[in-house]
Amino acid sequence: MHPRARRLAVLAVPALAAAGAMLPAAHGAAATGTGTVTRSAAGPRPAVHEAADTAKEQRTVKKFWTAARMEAAEPLDAPGTGDRHFAAASGAAAARSTTVSPTPASATLTAAATLTAAAARPSSRTSGSSWTAGGTVAKTTGRVFFTVTAGSDAGRNASCSGTAVTSANKSVVITAGHCVKLNGAFHANWVFVPGYDQGSRPNGTWPATTLLTTPQWNSGENMNFDIAAAVVAPQDGKSLTDVVGGQGVAFNQPRGQQTYAFGYPAGAPYDGSKLVYCGGRTFDDYLSSQDQGLSCGMTGGASGGPWFVRFDTRTGSGLLNSVNSFKYNFASYWMFGPYFGPEAEAVYNAAQKTALT
């Protein structure tokens, strides 16, 4: 990853079958079957970190996250000033610089040409509106809270977003890589709060037992692979998707699809209290990454939030196909998310095969 890059949030996923897609499993489906239809080879082995993997540690983490601490948690700041920033970064941090990274030699469009191309995309899009239609997405999307353990933000309590997805162990949350590890160290006190609503936790607080990310993010924080998963501990004898359901996940899909993104932005003008969404057709980033872009005004805290294709606005279900990752300082109206290829699939598969503790 570019040493000055920052990352953002997650989008919602549709619920229809497609090549390379994991369909939402029937409620209570067998642990060995998640409706997988895939056309990709297994990706590189993910990096795995043990989190709160004992009952005592899980109780300690849940107790740590009081309502006051959750309310005070802030989006991550970028590691330094520069041309990109995490979607998790605050609005003030995002405005620190207006420079643009040199365009890769393989790219043929200038920044101005890219802006023009994006502006020509379909106009049926949202810049960041409150989601009030309920449905599956309102239960499966949630806020992620953690304590940063390294770098200038060490010791700081921060927030991202995440999504409960269908999985063999019924306990997987998909989010962004920087929402589990940053500055070379995994975060501590990691929890997922599905359906968070103005301080309310209607579906409980779920501590992570295991955190996983791509080898590229783990070794170099590569912006193209800002992808992660968490396996959360059962609560009161029930697994995560038994309580809130799960979205399907899609890999190796065509680019340029109509997409809906969701998250809990906490930077101004948002405060992290409500679920927010954007919708539109994605476009390729021709500046400095292999990511896809989406017109979206969500701010810090939305990082790790889901991007859905084939999203049904009536049911709130879709196929998770990326997550909110980063923005360029000169274009706060765009959000970028990593392409879900073999590496993302490998993280998902390793997570759903992880034994619960």
CB-CB neighbours of 56 under 10 Å: 8
Contact 146, 188 (CB under 8 A): yes
Digit-coded pLDDT (tens) for 33-43: 333 334 445 56
Contact 141, 151 (CB under 8 A): no
Q: What sign for the dihedral angle of Cα 133, 134, 136, 141?
A: positive
And the tokens for 116? 């023009």
Contact 249, 351 (CB under 8 A): no
Question: pTM value?
Answer: 0.82
CB-CB neighbours of 227 under 10 Å: 32
**Which DSSP letter does residue 329 get?**
T
Tell me the average pLDDT across 259-277: 94
Reduce the DSSP state of residue 165 to 3 states and report it. Answer: strand
Does pLDDT of 222 surpass 80?
yes
pLDDT band of 83, cuts 50, 70, 90: low
H/E stretch holding 347: helix 342-352
Contact 335, 324 (CB under 8 A): yes
Which has more pLDDT, 10 or 272?
Answer: 272
Alpha carbon distance 20, 187 (integer Å): 31
**Which DSSP letter does residue 272 get?**
S
Summarize the chain as % helix, strand, coil (round to 5).
15, 30, 50
Bridge partners of 115, per DSSP, are none
Residue 113, pLDDT score: 31
- Of 261, 262, 228, the C-alpha closest to 344 is 228
- Of 179, 173, 172, the C-alpha closest to 148 is 179
- Phi/psi for 277 (5° steps) reads -140, 160
H/E stretch holding 332: strand 331-337
Digit-coded pLDDT (tens) for 56-70: 999 999 999 999 999
- Which CATH code for domain 21-352? 2.40.10.120
Alpha carbon distance 213, 7 (integer Å): 14
pLDDT band of 330, cuts 50, 70, 90: confident
Alpha carbon distance 352, 320 (integer Å): 15
Does pLDDT of 310 surpass 60?
yes
Please give the mean pLDDT across all residues of the chain: 80
Alpha carbon distance 286, 292 (integer Å): 9
DSSP string, 87-153: TTS-HHHHTT----PPPPTT----HHHHHHHHHTS-S---SSEE--S-SHHHHHEEEEEEE--SSTT
Reduce the DSSP state of residue 162 to 3 states and report it. Answer: strand
Bridge partners of 164, per DSSP, are 173
Does pLDDT of 163 surpass 50?
yes
Contact 46, 347 (CB under 8 A): yes
Digit-coded pLDDT (tens) for 129-141: 889 899 999 999 9
Does pLDDT of 99 surpass 90?
no
